[in-house]
Amino acid sequence: MPEGISNIQIRMALEDTAAIASVLYQSFAEYKPLYTDEAFAATAATSDQIQQRMSEGPVWVALQNETIVGTVSAVSKGHDLYIRGMAILRTARGQGIGELLLNEIESFARRQSYQRLLLSTTPFLTRAIRLYERTGFRRSSEGPQDLCGTPLFSMVKVLPPSVQRQ
């Protein structure tokens, strides 16, 4: 277990839209020059956009000492659950928070009988890509291939069929 993970809590987002928007912006700001302006705006969602996401599917936050340091959301795509808006503050990286968030999503997906987890990422988010690969995601030729002119590729994790209760 990574050091510091014991003081991390994962919970569903409540009235956290401003904090989530701040985490998204701060987490991706260092990569802003690699995005088109439109793609960065879509990635660093505003409070209003977060509120919209909360109406479309679950949003989780990671708290460290009662401060939101990470977030992720998901939206249903038929039998698949699409992961979006995953971000960890730079100061909180390396503590296993991303893995905790992905585990939370996977548990949710299994309870809801989704067949696969999907996500899209940019090729320059190498640390995130390593996390996704380490947790069982594999590159896929499925789209989208870009976000407003910024290159993307997709990753998929197939979930085992859920056990039916008798």
Where do the domains of the chain lie, and which CATH numbers do they carry?
A: 5-158 (3.40.630.30)
Say if residues 20 and 59 touch (Cβ distance below 8 Å): yes
The mean predicted confidence, pLDDT, of the chain is: 91
> For residue 3, what pLDDT is reported?
47
Tell me the per-residue pLDDT of 86-137, one tens digit each, with 9 for 90 and over: 999 999 999 999 999 999 999 999 999 999 999 999 999 999 999 999 999 9
> For residue 62, what pLDDT is reported?
97
Other beta carbons within 10 angstroms of residue 27's beta carbon come to 23
Which residue in the block uniquely carries the two structure tokens 């640390």? 127
> For residue 156, what pLDDT is reported?
96
Share of the chain above pLDDT 90, in %: 84
Inform me whether the pLDDT recorded for 47 exceeds 80: yes
In the predicted model, what is the mean pLDDT of residues 74-82? Answer: 95
Q: How far is CA 25 from CA 9, 41, 43, in A?
A: 21, 9, 8
Rounded CA separation 29/63 (Å): 20
3-state DSSP helix/strand/coil % of the chain, to nearest 5? 40, 30, 30
Which residue in the block uniquely carries the two structure tokens 């912006």? 25
Say if residues 74 and 110 touch (Cβ distance below 8 Å): no
| Residues ≥6 apart with Cβ < 8 Å to 52 | none
Longest dimension (CA), the chain: 54
Question: Per the confidence metrics, is the pTM higher than 0.85?
Answer: yes
> For residue 101, what pLDDT is reported?
97
Rounded CA separation 48/61 (Å): 17
Structure tokens at 87: 């971000």
Structure tokens at 74: 């998901």
Inform me whether the pLDDT recorded for 165 exceeds 50: no
3-state secondary structure of 125: coil
